[in-house]
Amino acid sequence: MTAACRMFMHIFSSCFFFNFDDSFSLQVEFFSSSVNKSWTKGKIKAEGQNWARHLMEMPANRLTPALFVEAVQNKLSNRSNITINVRDRSWIESESMNAFLAVSQGSVEQPYFLHIEYKHPDCNMSSPIALVGKGVTFDTGGISIKPAASMDQMRADMGGAACAVGSLYAVDRLDLPVHVHTFIPLCENMPGGRAIKPGDVVRARNGKTIQIDNTDAEGRLILADALNYAETVNPRLILDMATLTGAIDVALGSGATGVYATSTDTWNILQKAGCNTGDRMWRMPLFNHYTKQVTDSQLADLNNIGKHARSGGSCTAAAFLREFVTNKNWLHLDIAGVMANKDEVPYLGKGMAGRPTRTVVEFIEMLGKSQ
């Protein structure tokens, strides 16, 4: 090779590696920025889930309905995009939420209805998202009392409420350009002298009468009124979360959250959100087969446990709730199976899991981007 050729190759090589190094540096910078952004996003979601876990682990005497309200106010009241409205018994009575009131009447603790609104100034949503969370801060089962063994776990029967506020906290911290209303009925289910009795009949907010044949099927009663009230904000969709039935734990265990959805398109978004977070969803049936079982009632329009009680318990519970929803995009998440973690999820310690907070946040973010 001539000297001229060697000189040409040297200059060419120098130029090439200079450009390569410059490009590589830019790629590293971009990659580092992307990783930091993803890390921050994941950290915020984890903080939302950990807050839900913290609330679920609180002893019931340290997290009564009033103390739950206080905890939410302490955490969220100073956020500029969040408005908190706390409704007391007199307001609940004025709204004819008699199914909700029926559950609360056995306890000396006063019920509350919590309405939290998050609205980002850059939100372009034509209608909001509605979240509804079951907030039974302790569930004895009432007159249909639960077995004493493991009853202490029922301090987390407000898991739906905890995941709802945990999700809202993360949505706010992520500064997502969305509009979300969260509705949480809060009460205890106790076997006091004024407690509801098997066979009692109450009229819910939407006018339908309910025969209460099992007072331990109380979550669906308070959600019935909350779901109906959620319709007043004309939401794009309604998503409720509740530690509703032991039947979903029998069906799915801790492998996935059981989901009942009236819209396949909306379900597909939620399923993808679960795949993204690793906290999976599994669709369950909303057949008329189950609706017929809850509408076959001797004394009222509906029976709160259905004709065949234990058979398909999660499915009949969902069918019952559907009677109080007119929105075409409704998702019911039965989270009883994922309420606690023993050793199934390696990155979660033992105890209450706060699931599926991260998936709900991911779902809301995906909905915001689809506008």
Catalogue the active-site residues. 146, 220
269-290 residues labelled b (16+ CB within 10 A) or e (exposed): bbbebbeebebbbebbebeeeb
What are 215's two structure tokens? 């007072």
- What secondary structure does DSSP assign to 1-30, as a single string? --HHHHHHHHHHHHHHHHHHHHHHHHHHHH
Burial level of 325, CB count in 10 A (0-12/13-18/19+)? buried
**Any idea which residue has 């006063």 for tokens?**
110
Q: Residue type at 96?
A: S
Degrees to nearest 5, angle at CA 84 with 78 and 88: 135
d(CA 137, CA 149): 18
Residue 170 has, within 13 A of its CA and on its CB side, a CA count of: 29
Bridge partners (DSSP) of residue 240 are: 132, 332
CA dist 215 → 53, 66, 119, 210 (Å): 26, 23, 37, 12
d(CA 233, CA 355): 26
**Residue 180 DSSP SS3:** strand
**Any idea which residue has 């398109």 for tokens?**
265
What are 112's two structure tokens? 């509350």
Residues 6 or more apart whose CB falls under 8 angstroms from that of 108 comprise 190, 192
Sign of the torsion angle spanned by Cα atoms 349, 353, 357, 363? positive
Residue 113 and residue 92 in contact, taking contact as beta carbons nearer than 8 Å: yes
